[in-house]
Each structure stands twice: as C-alpha cells, then as structure tokens.
C-alpha cells in the first residue's frame, strides 16, 4: 500500500496544531459526557510487506494479537452479573480517545453547538451500547490517555476501553480482551523531505517518538536491545497521547514517529508535509479491553462483533471514517472470522 494511497488531504483544519489546540480546550470540560448528551450532549520481520493475517489462538498458546479463549455468547444471551449491573445502572461506561482523527475525535469545524465525539471506535462503542441496553446513546464516554487505558479498566473507572488498543499477551495478564475488531501494523511517519526510508537502518541517529505504554515503544525497545534497531536511534521521547508525537514532529523536536499504520495514515491526512515511510513491520489486532474475571461481558461483546461484521455495520463504519485515509479496499483490516 503506497503512501499516496494512504494519505488524503484534509481541508479546513489549518494543520494538526490547530486541531491539538481545539482538542486541548475541549478536554478540559469534556472528560465525561453526561448520559443526557451521549449523542449530542503477531510480529513480522523488519521490512515485512503489508499487514499479515492471523489465525485465532486459544488459551495456552498465546500469540500477540490473536489470543482469546472466551467464545461469543449466544445471540440474545444477557446472563451474568456484569451485564446485569450495567443494565441496572442504565448506561455503558467506555474509555475512548478524543484526538485520533477518524477513530475518536471532535471535529473543530463542526457547525453543531457541541462537537460530538465521532469516528470508527465511537461507532463500535455505540453499537455495543445498543445491543446491551437497546440504545446507541446509552453510553458515557471518558477521554483516556494512551498510558491510562489499563488502569482505567482495573480501577473500575470504565466498563471497557474502545481506543485502538492492541491485544498482546502481556496485556492479557492485566485486562481481558474481546476478539479482534481491526487489523493493522506498526509503521514509520516522517517528513516527506526526510532521508528516512522506513523501519530500517535509515533510523540510525534519528529521534523517534512513541506513545508511552504503546506497543510501538515496546517494539522499538526490544528491537534495539536485540540489535535489530540501530543503537544510535534515540527512542527516549514518549508522550501520553499519540497525537502529541505529530506535534513534536512538526516542531522539529523529533525526526520520526512510530505508531499503528491506521493511525499514522490519519495523521498524514492532517499534515501534507509528512508521509508514511516503508511498509508495516508488525501485525496489530485491536480489541475491546475489559476487566479480568467475569466473562459475561467479554462473551457478549464478542457476539456483538460477530453480528456487527455480518450485518455490514463494520464495513459501513469503515467506509465512512477510514476509507478516505486507508483506501476503499478493507479486507486486510477486517478482523479474522471468529
């Protein structure tokens, strides 16, 4: 997939710097949206080609991104204490992003009085709320930084996180995951004029930004330790939210960003001076993260995902939000059949 295909111009944003300012302002008062306004108010080698497809793995044979041992609940099965508590409360509490363009974000150019959260992940969260509670608006969104996704689940701040979160064996020790709902891979983002070619020796002596607590940072640290990434590459710059890396790149504080290709493509669409460099070099499976222990919510979400794909809802959301940056052809991004 070429950088040209992955990039799309974004008119009227005035650069991601303006977007970041707008989002920072809204973040001050929009950490929690009230219910009444819920709607308004696996690893490939370096240089691997594209995004690989995975095979579902079960407990006891964990492979990053595909491990899941909780089968979908039968359609209509609402049994379980966790779901019962959510129903009694009357709303679903979901941790999301509000600054990832086309995934979970607020459009600063919106003509509405209040800019709604929207995007691919937001659509999925609303679908889960609709299937469990009967209404896509029965959801309260919490804006959560990348490095706070796991703590937010563990301390009960949210019922689940739907926030471009990659399933890994290490994370499965701390949280439970649904089956995958999206497939992508790590990729390098850098200025068009840069000599960086991709995830290769051209990263030597370059300053690379990643989000703290991200699989991108873990990958770079592991590869540098193993000698697969130049020891002169500076990977010390980490930020709480991934968009902050793009701001650092624009300010000249770093030379490259490493993140999921799906997110990098959206960032390239926001800034015409940057582009994706080289191919994806990992396989990342996004999952809905939930608390470990009770399995009824995980199984219910798995069934929602099955139905969401079969009904065409997944494809409709992809076409609306992601095709402008990832292209109209979605098979490589669609989750494995569960």
The number of helix segments (H) and strand segments (E) in the chain equals 11, 15
Specify the pLDDT at position 56. Answer: 34
What separation in angstroms does the CA of 68 have from each of 59, 119, 173, 298? Answer: 7, 26, 12, 10
> Domain 64-184+287-326, what fold?
D-Maltodextrin-Binding Protein; domain 2 (3.40.190)
Q: How does DSSP classify residue 283? A: -
Sign of CA dihedral 288, 106, 51, 308: positive
Question: According to CATH, where is 3.40.190.10 located in the chain?
Answer: 64-184+287-326, 186-277
pLDDT at 72: 74
Ordered mean pLDDT values, 10 residues apiece, the chain (338 residues)? 38 42 38 34 31 34 60 68 96 95 84 76 98 96 93 97 93 92 96 97 98 94 97 97 92 97 92 95 94 91 94 96 88 75
Q: Are 56 and 338 in contact (CB under 8 A)?
A: yes
Q: Cβ distance 64 to 70 under 8 Å?
A: no
How far is Cα 156 from Cα 291, in angstroms, rounded to an integer? 8
What distances in angstroms separate CA 49 from CA 210, 281, 283, 305, one per listed residue? 22, 7, 11, 27
Decide if 238 contacts 211 (C-beta within 8 A): yes
Per DSSP, the three-state class of 193 is coil
| Token pair listed for 86 | 């959510």
Query: Residue 231 has which token pair?
Result: 């020891």
CATH superfamily assigned to domain 186-277:
Periplasmic binding protein-like II (3.40.190.10)
Write down the pLDDT at residue 67: 57
* 3 state DSSP class of 256: strand
Report how far residue 162's alpha carbon sits from residue 141's, in angstroms, rounded to the nearest whole number. Answer: 10
- For residues 265 and 275, give the distance between their C-alpha atoms in angstroms, rounded to a whole number: 8
Cα-Cα-Cα-Cα torsion 109, 112, 115, 119, nearest 10 degrees, comes to -80
At 304, which helix (H) or strand (E)?
helix 296-310
Given a contact cutoff of 8 angstroms between Cβ atoms, the answer to whether 7 and 268 are in contact is yes
pTM, to two decimals: 0.79
Q: From CA 147, how far away is CA 153, in angstroms rounded?
A: 12
Please spell the DSSP secondary structure of 6-60, one letter per residue.
Answer: H----TTS-HHHHHHHHHHHHHHH-SB--GGGSS----PPTT--S------B-TT
């Amino acid at each position: 997939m070429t950088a040209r295909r992955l990039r799309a111009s974004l008119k009227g944003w005035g650069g991601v710097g303006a977007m970041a300012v707008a989002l920072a302002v809204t973040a001050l008062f929009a950490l929690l949206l009230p219910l009444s306004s819920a709607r308004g108010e696996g690893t490939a080698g370096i240089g691997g080609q594209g995004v690989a497809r995975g095979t579902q793995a079960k407990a006891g044979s964990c492979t990053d991104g595909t491990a899941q041992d909780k089968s979908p609940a039968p359609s209509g099965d609402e049994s379980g204490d966790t779901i019962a508590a959510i129903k009694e409360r009357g709303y679903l509490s979901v941790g999301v992003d509000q600054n990832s363009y086309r995934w979970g974000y607020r459009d600063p150019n919106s003509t509405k009085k209040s800019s709604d959260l929207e995007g691919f992940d937001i659509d999925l969260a609303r679908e889960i709320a609709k299937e469990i509670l009967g209404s896509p608006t029965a959801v309260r969104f919490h804006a959560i930084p990348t490095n706070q996704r796991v703590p937010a689940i563990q301390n009960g701040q949210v019922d689940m996180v739907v926030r471009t979160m990659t399933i890994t064996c290490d994370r499965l020790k701390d949280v439970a995951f649904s089956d995958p709902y999206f497939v992508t891979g790590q990729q390098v983002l850098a200025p068009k004029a840069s000599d960086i070619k991709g995830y290769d020796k051209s990263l030597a002596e370059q300053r690379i930004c990643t989000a703290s607590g991200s699989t991108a940072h873990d990958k770079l640290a592991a590869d540098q330790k193993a000698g697969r990434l130049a020891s002169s590459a500076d990977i010390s710059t980490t930020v709480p939210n991934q968009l902050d890396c793009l701001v650092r790149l624009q300010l000249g504080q770093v030379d490259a960003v490493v993140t999921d290709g799906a997110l990098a493509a959206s960032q390239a669409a926001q800034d015409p001076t940057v582009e994706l460099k080289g191919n994806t070099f990992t396989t990342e499976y996004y999952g809905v993260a939930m608390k470990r222990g009770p399995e009824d919510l995980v199984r219910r979400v798995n069934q929602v995902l099955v139905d969401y794909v079969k009904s065409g809802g997944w494809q409709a959301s992809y076409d609306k939000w992601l095709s402008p940056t990832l292209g109209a052809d979605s098979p490589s991004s669609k989750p494995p059949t569960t």
